Amino acid sequence: MGHGAEMNGCGKCLKYLMFTFNLLSLVGGIVVMAVGIWTCVDHAYMEQLLGTNLYMSAAYILIATGVVVILISFLGCLGAVKEIKCMLLTYFIVMFGIFVTMLVGGILGYAFRSNVAVSMRTRMYSSLGEYGITRVLRCCGVEGFDGYRIWRTENRNFNSNSQVPLSCCQKIWTSGPIGSTGLVNSGLLNTGQMDMAGQSYMPCQGSPNSNTAYLTGCYDKGLEAVKDQAAIVGGVGIGIAFVTLMGMIFSMALFNMIK
């Protein structure tokens, strides 16, 4: 019961087409899971940048979706080859659920895209003194290094001649030994300044310029990073949605052909 009789040439062609699309779907599931893991590992700073845990939640959903797609694609392959109707029906229902979820997620993401920009700008202004994002994105201030006029008035412990914090200075990647003055001998400049973690930077605090400091604002850099990440996730999502849709069509066609 539920197994098909000998199929004609059209049925066999449909069966192997579905098998092929399920292989593509399985590969796509692996890609989605990998993108989710990559997002968690390499782009965790986005959560701090956006001021919400929705970003990491989306990454976890990607991982879970990838696992489900991998498992259901295997089920679809087996159902197509063995011509088992209950497997094909289960495959269709689960794939339909995934397709609807991705469609709703894409619509919501597009609808709230402007809210993300506003939230990110607000978050950045409220966390001007947290320099982790500045180092990661290689930026300075929210709109640019001029925004650190506020920083200069609020940080009395720093040298009054400093225009920007050390995190706005460009990193020195090839450095020599620390000199007696507490500066670092550099292959790029004669001296560089070192932070408490041992990372050396260009001496830019007194007079920041394009050769020694990051002058682009963190808002523009952050928005660019979010758009790049969204483009990757969106591209993968569109690809999976297409394969999922074709898989549903083939599964129902094959389901109806099995006697």
pLDDT at 152: 62
pLDDT at 245: 85
Task: Indicate whether 138 belongs to any domain.
Answer: no
| CA distances for 100 relative to 4, 30, 40, angstroms | 29, 20, 24
pLDDT bucket at 217, cuts 50 / 70 / 90:
confident
Sign of CA dihedral 161, 167, 170, 172: positive
Total domain count for the chain?
2
Checking if the pLDDT of 62 tops 50, the result is: yes
Examine the domain organization and report whether 44 and 160 are in the same domain: no
pLDDT bucket at 49, cuts 50 / 70 / 90:
low
User: Is 169 in a helix, a strand, or coil?
Assistant: strand
pLDDT bucket at 175, cuts 50 / 70 / 90:
very low
Higher pLDDT, 31 or 208: 31
Examine the domain organization and report whether 53 and 94 are in the same domain: yes
Examine the domain organization and report whether 101 and 226 are in the same domain: yes
Tokens (6 digits) for 238: 């569109």
Mean pLDDT to the nearest integer, 79-97: 85
* DSSP per-residue string spanning 118-144: HHHHHHHHHTTT--HHHHHHT--SSSB
Examine the domain organization and report whether 22 and 69 are in the same domain: yes
Checking if the pLDDT of 128 tops 70, the result is: no
pLDDT bucket at 182, cuts 50 / 70 / 90:
very low
Examine the domain organization and report whether 76 and 161 are in the same domain: no
Examine the domain organization and report whether 183 and 92 are in the same domain: no
Q: Which amino acid is at 138?
A: R
Higher pLDDT, 144 or 103: 103
Range with the largest mean pLDDT of 54-63, 173-182, 242-251: 242-251
Mean pLDDT to the nearest integer, 211-227: 80
Examine the domain organization and report whether 237 and 172 are in the same domain: no
Examine the domain organization and report whether 57 and 106 are in the same domain: yes
Examine the domain organization and report whether 79 and 192 are in the same domain: no
Range of the domain at 156: 145-215
Q: Which residue has the tokens 């609808």?
A: 111
Using a CB cutoff of 8 Å and minimum separation of 24, what contacts does 210-214 make?
A: 211/170, 212/169, 212/170, 213/140, 213/145, 213/164, 213/168, 213/169, 213/170, 214/134, 214/138, 214/139, 214/140, 214/145, 214/168, 214/169, 214/170
Task: Indicate whether 33 belongs to any domain.
Answer: yes
Task: Indicate whether 136 belongs to any domain.
Answer: no
| Cα 95 to Cα 110: distance, rounded to the nearest angstrom | 22
Task: Indicate whether 162 belongs to any domain.
Answer: yes
Task: Indicate whether 135 belongs to any domain.
Answer: no
Say what the pTM is: 0.64
Task: Indicate whether 78 belongs to any domain.
Answer: yes
Examine the domain organization and report whether 248 and 233 are in the same domain: yes
Examine the domain organization and report whether 205 and 226 are in the same domain: no
pLDDT at 181: 38
- Which residues neighbour 107 within 8 Å (Cβ) at sequence distance 6 or greater? none
Task: Indicate whether 132 belongs to any domain.
Answer: no
Q: Which residue has the tokens 């389901």?
A: 255
Examine the domain organization and report whether 196 and 248 are in the same domain: no
Tokens (6 digits) for 191: 């001296």
Task: Indicate whether 28 belongs to any domain.
Answer: yes
pLDDT bucket at 61, cuts 50 / 70 / 90:
confident
Contact 33, 63 (CB under 8 A): yes
- Could you tell me the end-to-end alpha-carbon distance of the chain, in angstroms, rounded to an integer? 10
Checking if the pLDDT of 150 tops 80, the result is: no
pLDDT above 90: percentage of residues in the chain: 0
